[in-house]
Structure 1
């Protein structure tokens, strides 16, 4: 899965409607994840791995409700 496809999946699950250009770079991805408070997908975006215990998930985990939301 390309970074572009991963961003599309994240934004779809989070119901965020922004345009993703075909030529995105890692700086754009980093800034977008931070700005939209989507850091929870950072590890999956970079490596394809998840670490739910540290709050790092994939869109599939978020979508199927397996993540427990904790208040701060």
Structure 2
């Protein structure tokens, strides 16, 4: 497999990697459950002809890091 392309993973691979189900991924991509799109933090993804939805590993790491919840002191 091309090294550059191996950075892209399928929804199923993302589910196995971080435990976010394929259904949950779709809901987040579509902003389901958010009152305003601005309040959401959708998954960064690519729609590749013939391959469907793909995620770039480095962008997913950044997305996960933005999900951090800090406790108020």
TM-score, normalised to structure 1, is 0.30
Structure with more relative contact order (C-alpha pairs < 8 Å, separation 6 or more):
2
TM-score, normalised to structure 2, is 0.29
Give the structure with the larger strand fraction. 2
